[in-house]
Amino acid sequence: MEDGMEICKSSDRTASTNFCLQWSQWQLLDSILPTGGFAHSFGLEAAIQARIVSGPEDLRAYVILVLENTGSLLLPFVCSATMSPNLENWHKLDRMLDATLTNEVARKASIAQGSALMRLAAAVFAEVPSLKTMRDTSLGSGAVSFHHAPIFGLICGLLGMDSGSSQRAYMFITMRDVISAATRLNLIGPLGAAVLQHQIALVAEDMSKKWMASYGRGSMPNGSFA
């Protein structure tokens, strides 16, 4: 009887940890989190200007291409940071990503969003004190640029999320931000945007699986090993 109580208590504890994790996950993915996701349109504005995107059909194709690029380029960084959420690995990934984001606009947007996310996370997730310690150690050291993808993975890892979930979550916020840029640019209405987001989720899931499988053995897309 006593043993039974113990098991019950500990499974309660596990359950309550899991529930806490869910609240943190939802907050991390909530569009209300002020990380500056609205700061850039993932190239959508330029694509409209170059007449590559001019209506909802083009938009659908464009979002899928953005996700494909995110999958091949950024998911490996999210994955590695989630699996080894420590200072050394984060700094290494950040330097590598800084050399990989060769488009200046995308590089600056990644730094702006990453810095904002790290500042928020250090203040919000007080139960993980290492977030604040890592941020304080790195600020002003010049050793890191605070790129978004590794920081996102780092936070997920420290909150206890598994790497599959953190990578899907990264695809999710990317899709959400492109589609939200499209509504602000008047390419699609809010209802149409929600429908599109739900339809593309299936495609995004396939792409996440494909890219997770392709570097599952630790190989980074640029041929090096993380």
Residues that bind another protein (CB under 8 A): 49-52, 54, 61, 64-65, 68, 72, 95-96, 98-100, 102-105, 107, 203, 206-207, 221-224
CA distance 16 to 9: 10
Nearer to another protein, 47 or 118 (CB): 47
CA distance 212 to 174: 16
Rounded least distance, CB 41 to another protein, Å:
15
Nearer to another protein, 55 or 216 (CB): 55
Beta bridge partners of 225: 219
Rounded least distance, CB 101 to another protein, Å:
9
Nearer to another protein, 147 or 161 (CB): 147
| DSSP secondary structure letter of residue 51 | T
Whole-number CA gyration radius for the chain = 19
Nearer to another protein, 67 or 182 (CB): 67
Contact 208/168 with Cβ under 8 angstroms? yes
Rounded least distance, CB 46 to another protein, Å:
8
CA distance 115 to 218: 26
